[in-house]
Structure formats: structure tokens, C-alpha cells
Structure 1
Amino acid sequence: MSSYLYELSKSCSAETESLYRDLTVLNDQKLWFQLTQKLEVLFFDDDFKTEITNKQKQLIFENFVEPIIKSLDDTKVTEFFIYVLSNDTEKSLEEKVKLLNGLKTKLLELDDKKVNQNDGYIKRINSKIIIDCEMIQYKLELNRLNESVDILKDALDTLENPLFENFVSIRAKLAYYKSILKLNKFNKEYNEYYYNSLLFISCYQKLLEDKYFNNALYLKETTLWVNFKPELYYAILLADKIYHFNEILDNQWVNTESFANDSAQSDKLEALLEDVVGKHILEVNSTEYIKSINELLSLTNETAKEQLLKFLIQKKALVNLLGLIFNENASKKSLTFSEISKKIQVEENEIELLLMKAMSLNLLQGKINQVDQLIKITWIQPRVMTGKEIMVLRDNLVQWKDNHLKTTTEKLLA
């Protein structure tokens, strides 16, 4: 093993030679944790990407990492292998699936060779979940939908098994949510994509906090995919049950992280979607919204664009309606159709149908008075509030307290 790295070190720069030497020393001294950290640098660090090609990384994995696989952190070994495989442009999807299955088999064989399974030793369930979930991406590209669904069911059974509750890692959960997002995208399940994105982001941020990798950039390299942000915002826009999305709009990581896209068109798509979801859909005036939506649809492969445009116009109206009701004065329990029409700029004769649509989606509850053309609001769907909405709620609570105190005092004095 060490001799292999020694041969490689004969024809490389001083920095790379030093890295190979460190790996050799750590291996000889059996300092497995430190060796794993140094391998992270070899496989993921930008400083070595030019000199150590992906093909060389594959050979290093086969000749150096694989022989000592039982001594290393199996999830990190899995990370190295998946990363190299994802950057391999020569192997077919079938070959990649076969190689992933091969690694999984080796890890499971190590479990089977364990003599005493009752000494607190936990099988390599995390690396198995990570490998299985990684295969889903390739299987979906091969249109093996049923196989992908079966793998996810098996992974979910493990995640929900109370026996493994304290042993399933956040990294395994992240792999699960990543793969289910791929499945949601494949099936155009936009509502599910949004909810699973929240869970994925939560796991990702937890791994950042826990410093899963020695360098935070490595986590981004191994778990995020190109077009992550435009796919997320597109799902928000097309989801027919999502009408408030402050969890994403106010997420600091989403707002500050730089995400990679695969083309200039995807960059343009991301910029458009950010404006539409983060700004235009919340504005009362719909001019910029409709202009951006038309431009957006011209960049996509969606069919029935006219029908989709109608849905998106209605979605904006519902978002504005909910915003109006949520931020209204607490003492004002009724709103006239005329008042709603003026404040969200929707034709008055369309307000009743809009309210009925909102109630059918369980976005709000109330009683519509068709004679007086008004609605009495009794409930509105809870939401994650923005800073502005929190201030409005505070003012409403203060007003409610003052009104309640005034009413109570008047009753006592009567």
C-alpha cells in the first residue's frame, strides 16, 4: 500500500509528495482518524484537483483505501468512492450501479465476519443507506422507477426502526432526503419536493454545525447538486398547496450560499425565479410578476403553458389574499369583497371564487355572506412569520389586550 503511494510521489509536485508521505506515515502508525482526515484533503481539496486526476483518485482508492477499509470510517470511505464515481465520465450508469453494489457488498461482508455482534457494535447501516440512496440517481436516469421506490422504502424502514433510532446518522438522513428529492423531481411532485427540501436543508445545516468534514466546502462538494436553487424555487412556484414559503425566503443559508448551475440559461432561470418567488409574487401589482412568468415559461420545457400561466396568476392572488388577511387589524374580523378587490387588485366579481378556492385548500376558514358581499374570517393557516409579520402580530396582540382591558373595565364599572 505505502509502496504504491511512494511510486506516485516520484513524479509530482512537492506539495503532493508531502501529502502522499503524510498518508503513508499515518497508515504505518495506524492513526486511522487522522488518516481519514488527510484522505478528505486528497479527494476533495481544490489545491490537488489539477494534479491528482479523478482516474488517479480511483486507483488510490483501489490500491490504498480499499485494502484498509475495515479500519477506516465506513461512511467517509463511501463518500470518497461516491465522489470519484460521480466525476467519472467514462463509466456507464449500469457500471456505476454495479460498482456501488460491489462496495456495499464488501462493507456488509465485514459485518458478517464480525465474531461478536452483541458487544455494542453497530452494523454499517449508515454507509448502506448512503450507497443505496446514491444509486437512486442513476436508476432514475435509467428509468427504473420501481427499483428506486423499493430502495427508498427499504431506507425509510431503517430510518424509522426504533432499534436504530440512536445510530442512524444525520448524513444518512441527508442522503435519504436528497434521493427522495430526486424522485419528487422525476415525478413532478412539487408539494412533496418543497417539504422534503426543508428536511434536506435542516440536515445539511446540522452537518455544517457538527463539522462532519474537516472543511465545510467538502460537504458542498459531496452533497449539493447543480441547479439546486432553481429547482427548489421552481418547486415552490408550481406547488399547488404551498402559498407561504418564509422557511425558504428567510433561510440564511439559502440566501448566502453560492450554488452551482450547469449553464448560463440555468443562471438566468435562477435569477428570474428569485425575483418571482422572493419579490413579485408578494407584490400587489402584478405587472412585473406576469412579465417574469412569461419569460420564465419561455425557458422551460413545460407543456400547456397557457393553463400553467392561469394557475400561477391564481396562485399570486391567493398569496396576496392570505397576506392581506394575516396582516389585517386583529379587531377586524370581516372583509368586504370590494375591500379585498382593491387591496389585492383582483376583479371584484372574482373574489368569491378566490375565497372558495382558499377555503377548499384549507388555507383559511370563514363564512361568506353573499348578500352583503363579505367574508367573516374564523381561522387562517399557520405560517412561519417574517420579521415584519411578527411586528404586525405584536401590534395586534397589544391592541387586543387594550380592547379587552377596556371592555372588562366598562363591565366592572357598569
Structure 2
Amino acid sequence: MSFPQETKMDLDQNPIAVLNEIRKRCPAELQEYLNTFEDLYDRKLWHQLTLKIEEFFAIPASGPFQIQLFQNFISDWENKMNKLKLVTLGLSVMKQFSGYNEALAFLTSLVGKVDTPDSREAYVHAVMETAYIKLMLNDLDGTKSAIDECEKILEKFDSVETAIHASFYRVCADFYKAKAEYTEYYKNALLYLACIQLEDLTSEEKVERAYDLAISALLGDTIYNFGELLMHPILDALSNTPHEWLKNLLFAFNAGDIGKFEMLAVNFTQQALLQDTIAFLRQKICLMSLIEAVFKRSSDNRTIPFADIAAETRLPIDEVEYLVMKALSLKLVRGSIDQVDEKVVVTWVQPRVLDKNQIDGMRQRLQEWNETVKKTAMFVENETPELFIQ
């Protein structure tokens, strides 16, 4: 993030004098706003004045005047303004500072203005955005402290403005990205996307978010179901980009397709994180293949020979037992291992968010089950007709 140069301010100016000074320097298309501000201020129409300032701040050309307007005009009547709107306007002003330290000082002051019992939502919003600046300054401890504080406050709310949750999850995701904690990043990034309209992100932001989600899904040591991400429209941002292979790789993992994994692994040279964790990724695709093999079987056909698992996962048969033990320890499946007969009895498989192909496979199995039930009913009826006599 970069900030334009800060505008110098005279803190002794009265509110109307500030408007007159800005009016002299601003473009002609903005001067009418300054006239309206003065009129509404004189009439003490604080709500209408707030709405008009929001319009003004939404115009890019207003950027050079926002700091002075906020600190020398809005500050005069900010106690009449809705605290959440005060924070929203303050976040726009924050972007006009020339560096992170100046922005942090400004936001810290803003936090103090909304730290009241009746403005906890606004307080959380301001604290989380302050935490983001601390993150940019590499103050990880300060960021984590803010996250922990705001999480406790949010837990007490029955309902919260969506923008508050969006701010919280976005900063959490960026924090866990900085810490290379892939599972936590994955969870918080998806929660952030659930709180916003995807079209509010730029094309570059969509690609970056989709890329980071793909990497975290692959490297998260407890993430073995990519269905939620695969069905999310954010992933389409990788299509027709140099990163499209990552999207294809996610589908290969979710289907446990080891052949496709091997084909796409040549791209790992483009991403050092994947190249350095190739052994982990191979084990992960084998586990995904095992899950898929179990999932595709009917519930009455889940006694699986080691040889079948070896064929599905392309592992030597003497490595199958270790793989199954790993799956059991991760709670991906439940069951038991028969070492003598070299079989695995699976009683449960982790619930999954299914992609379209997997849903179609389930549809086919339901059709087969339905046909089996019909045949059984006809057999019973033909063999023992006396049971069906009315």
C-alpha cells in the first residue's frame, strides 16, 4: 500500500475557515460540496452532513483534502456523528498519509474516539484496521493482540455489521499468511470472502486471493477436502492466467487423481513452497486418493484389501498400512486394520463438500441402490406371494 503526501494543516483554524481554505484550492467540481457542507453545518443537520461528506470522500479527487477536512472540520462535530460512519470516513483518510507510521498514529487516535461502551462495533472496526497497519510494520505481536481482543468482543454480539466481520477476517487472514499458518489462513480467507461482494475486489486482488487460497489448501496439514474452495467463484480468477495449473491441481487433489498430480507437478518449479514440500504433497495426494476410493464404495463394500489401496494410490504394498494409519490418526476415516489378511475395514469416512463430478457419482450410486431395492422387493413378492395377500 502507498500513501499520497500528507497535506499540511493549521490546527488553530475554525471549521468554516477550513472550508473556505479548501474551497480555494479544490477543483471546480468539488466546490459545490464545500458550499453544502457549510450550509448543513450552520443548520446543524448532522446526519445529512455526514451523508454528503461520504459522497465527497467517494470522489478520488477529494483525496488531497480529506486529512484537513477530517482533522479540522469533522473533528468539531464528530461526537454528533454515528461512530461507525466516523471510522469508515477515517479509514478513507488513513489512505492519504505518506507512510505507515503516520497512518498508525492517525488510526490510534481514531480508536480512542470510538472506545466507548455504546460503540463497540466501531471500536472493533478501528482496532482491526489499526492491526493491519501494525502488520504492515511487521508488528506481529501487536497484530495478534488486537485480533485476540476483537475476537472476544465479537463473540458477545448477537449480530454484527457485515463490514465488521469482513475487516476482522481479512486482517486475520493476512496475519496468518505472514505467519505461514496455512490452515488458519484458508479458514479466515474463506470467511472474509463470505462477508463481501466479490465484484468489490479488483481483478488483481481476486487473482492474489485465489492464488493464496490454492497454496494454503495444498499445504494445510489438516485440509483434505477442497470442495468449498472448488465451488467458490473466486477460483475462476485463476483461469486464463499463468496460475491456472494451480486450479487444475486442486481438482486433481480433491479427486485423488495421482496421475494428473504427476503431470502437473512439473509446474512446482514456479513455486518454491510447493517444490520444497513435494514429499508432503505426495503423501497428501495418496491420502486423498484413499479417501476417494472409500467414498466411491457403497457402505456395505468397505472392506478393502491392501492390494486395492496400493493400486489406487500407486504405493508399494508394504507402505499401505502406514498410509491407512496416517488417515486414521488424521480422523479422515475410521475403522480397523487386519494385518493378517492385509485388509482395511472402514466404518466411516470424513464428510465432504462435493464437486459436480462427485455429486454425479453419488447420483449413480443412489440409482444403483434404488434398482437393487426394486429387485429385492420383486424377489420377495414372487417367492412369498402369500405375504402380500390383502
CA displacement at 1:246 relative to structure 2 = 1.3
Task: Please give the root-mean-square deviation of Cα atoms over the aligned residues, in Å.
Answer: 3.4
1:243 is aligned, of 224, 231, 235, to 224
1:389 alignment partner, SS class: helix
2:93 is aligned, of 64, 84, 87, to 84
Distance 1:245 1:292 in 2: 20
Distance 2:69 2:264 in 1: 52
Distance 1:137 1:226 in 2: 21
Task: Name the residue aligned to 2:105.
Answer: 98
Moved more, 31-40 or 384-393: 31-40
Q: What amino acid does structure 2 have at the position aligned with 1:197?
A: A
Distance 2:206 2:373 in 1: 53
CA gap of 1:41–1:258, structure 2 versus 1, over 3 A, is farther
- Whether the 8 Å contact between 2:210 and 2:238 is mirrored in structure 1 is no
- After superposition, the C-alpha distances for 1:240-289 in whole angstroms (9 at most, x for unaligned) are 1101111111113x145699xxxxxxx85x54533432457644313332
- Whether the 8 Å contact between 1:140 and 1:183 is mirrored in structure 2 is yes
Confirm or deny that 1:134 pairs with 2:129. yes
Q: What amino acid does structure 1 have at the position aligned with 2:359?
A: I
- After superposition, the C-alpha distances for 1:158-197 in whole angstroms (9 at most, x for unaligned) are 1122xx424x333222222222223322332211222222
TM-score of the superposition, structure 2-length normalised?
Answer: 0.79
2:291 is aligned, of 322, 337, 342, to 322
Confirm or deny that 1:154 pairs with 2:149. yes
Structure with greater Cα Rg:
2
Confirm or deny that 1:393 pairs with 2:362. yes
CA displacement at 1:363 relative to structure 2 = 0.7
Task: Name the residue aligned to 1:115.
Answer: none
TM-score of the superposition, structure 1-length normalised?
Answer: 0.75
Which consecutive residues of structure 2, in runs of 5 or more, have no partner in the other structure? 1-14, 385-390
Distance 1:38 1:256 in 2: 37
- Whether the 8 Å contact between 1:130 and 1:172 is mirrored in structure 2 is yes
Count of aligned pairs: 364
Q: After TM superposition, list the pairs within 5 Å mapping 1:112-127 onto structure 2.
A: 123-127=118-122
- Whether the 8 Å contact between 2:238 and 2:247 is mirrored in structure 1 is no
Distance 2:363 2:194 in 1: 28
- Whether the 8 Å contact between 1:246 and 1:386 is mirrored in structure 2 is yes
CA gap of 1:367–1:241, structure 2 versus 1, over 3 A, is same
2:348 alignment partner, SS class: strand
- Whether the 8 Å contact between 1:238 and 1:312 is mirrored in structure 2 is yes
- After superposition, the C-alpha distances for 1:102-148 in whole angstroms (9 at most, x for unaligned) are 1121233xx4xxxxxxxxxx711111101111222233344544433
Task: Name the residue aligned to 2:353.
Answer: 384
CA gap of 1:328–1:284, structure 2 versus 1, over 3 A, is farther
Q: What amino acid does structure 2 have at the position aligned with 1:91?
A: G
Confirm or deny that 1:58 pairs with 2:73. no
1:379 alignment partner, SS class: strand
CA displacement at 1:379 relative to structure 2 = 0.9
Q: What amino acid does structure 2 have at the position aligned with 1:131?
A: A
- After superposition, the C-alpha distances for 1:38-85 in whole angstroms (9 at most, x for unaligned) are 4344334xxx43x334x4222222233332322333223212322332
Distance 1:199 1:143 in 2: 24
Which consecutive residues of structure 1, in runs of 5 or more, have no partner in the other structure? 112-121, 209-215, 260-266
Q: What amino acid does structure 2 have at the position aligned with 1:181?
A: A
1:227 alignment partner, SS class: helix
1:375 alignment partner, SS class: strand
- After superposition, the C-alpha distances for 1:201-242 in whole angstroms (9 at most, x for unaligned) are 22225xx8xxxxxxx74xx48xx7993332222211110110
CA gap of 1:181–1:329, structure 2 versus 1, over 3 A, is same
CA gap of 1:340–1:158, structure 2 versus 1, over 3 A, is same
- Whether the 8 Å contact between 2:66 and 2:96 is mirrored in structure 1 is no
- Whether the 8 Å contact between 1:330 and 1:396 is mirrored in structure 2 is no
Distance 1:291 1:280 in 2: 15
2:174 alignment partner, SS class: helix
CA gap of 1:404–1:378, structure 2 versus 1, over 3 A, is farther
CA gap of 1:155–1:105, structure 2 versus 1, over 3 A, is same
Distance 2:286 2:308 in 1: 14
- Whether the 8 Å contact between 1:152 and 1:180 is mirrored in structure 2 is yes
1:52 alignment partner, SS class: helix
- Whether the 8 Å contact between 1:365 and 1:380 is mirrored in structure 2 is yes
Q: After TM superposition, list the pairs within 5 Å mapping 1:10-409 onto structure 2.
A: 10-25=24-39, 27=41, 32-44=46-58, 48-49=59-60, 51-53=61-63, 55-86=64-95, 88=97, 90-93=98-101, 95-108=102-115, 111=116, 123-161=118-156, 164-166=157-159, 168-205=160-197, 217=200, 220=201, 227-252=208-233, 254-255=234-235, 268=242, 270-279=243-252, 282=255, 283-285=257-259, 286-297=261-272, 306=276, 308-329=277-298, 332-407=301-376
- Whether the 8 Å contact between 2:22 and 2:65 is mirrored in structure 1 is no
CA displacement at 1:370 relative to structure 2 = 3.4
Distance 2:47 2:361 in 1: 52
Distance 2:33 2:343 in 1: 73
Q: What amino acid does structure 1 have at the position aligned with 2:216?
A: A
Percentage identity across aligned positions?
26
- After superposition, the C-alpha distances for 1:320-370 in whole angstroms (9 at most, x for unaligned) are 332232233555323333333434444444333222211211111233333
1:204 alignment partner, SS class: coil
CA gap of 1:276–1:153, structure 2 versus 1, over 3 A, is same
